[in-house]
Amino acid sequence: MQNVLITGANRGIGFEIARQLLKKGFHVIISGRDEMKLSLAENQLKKEFSSVEMIVMDVSTSESVKAAAKILGARKVELDVIINNAGIMHREDYSLITQNNAVLKTTINTNCYGPVRVIHTFLPLLKIPGRIINVSSGYGSMTDLIDGWAPAYCVSKTMLNSLTRQIAYELLEKNIAVNAVCPGWVRTDMGGKRAPRSVEHGAETPVWLASDAPHELTGKFFRDKSEIKW
């Protein structure tokens, strides 16, 4: 049985990724910063599946990430897949020029430094060959047009894409595949009710990258199981 750690998995795309991987026979470790919400998510998943557990982890702080890794390490847990799904978007995110600089700093801290913290800290627990998946966004693309929507969030996803490429290069010789994925505009709390995609559709490509995608695919950006431009 393969083990997967999913950050930000108490709701939305992260929760659906967990559900779909459980259906595929994975042992799933869901994580999030809110213990109560995480516990509710775990209980909901356990109504259908037994091979799920939770670990409280706030990816925005090194202390929390290290504490979570220490717990899993003490349990002798070995991971096959790490999915960096946790992310934030501020309601006040409307202008890099006029908005409070803290919006950009906190967004990048969670959306960019968070995945780096998780990869750096959990890498000793990742089996070889292994997979790392960073949930990004088409709004991080350098080729698509800019429309001014949530600029700090967009910048953070552009940075995450660049981090994905660099880390993929560093881990190539270790036989660890590292990719970014755009789930599309999905009907979640962040995406809103007007989003055209279901959460099930949004989770399909991360699940594919975690399970069935050819392992030699690394350092790439995917949507709908197809490579897209950075």
Other beta carbons within 10 angstroms of residue 215's beta carbon come to 11
* Among the listed residues 63, 46, 217, 47, the one whose alpha carbon sits nearest the alpha carbon of residue 131: 217
**Residue tagged active-site, from 113, 139, 153, 169:** 153
Count of Cβ atoms closer than 10 Å to residue 150 Cβ: 21
DSSP letter at 139? Answer: G
CA 61 from centroid of its chain's CA atoms = 16
Q: CA 30, CA 49: separation in Å to the nearest integer?
A: 13
Exposed/middle/buried for 44, CB within 10 Å: 0-12, 13-18, 19+? middle
Q: Which residues does 87 contact at the CB level (< 8 Å), separation at least 6?
A: 8, 110, 111, 114, 135, 156, 190
The owner of tokens 């790490």 is: 82
Nearest residue to 181 (alpha-carbon basis) of 60, 87, 109, 91: 87
CA distance 185 to 197: 6
Known catalytic membership, residue 153: yes
- Catalytic positions, written as ranges: 153
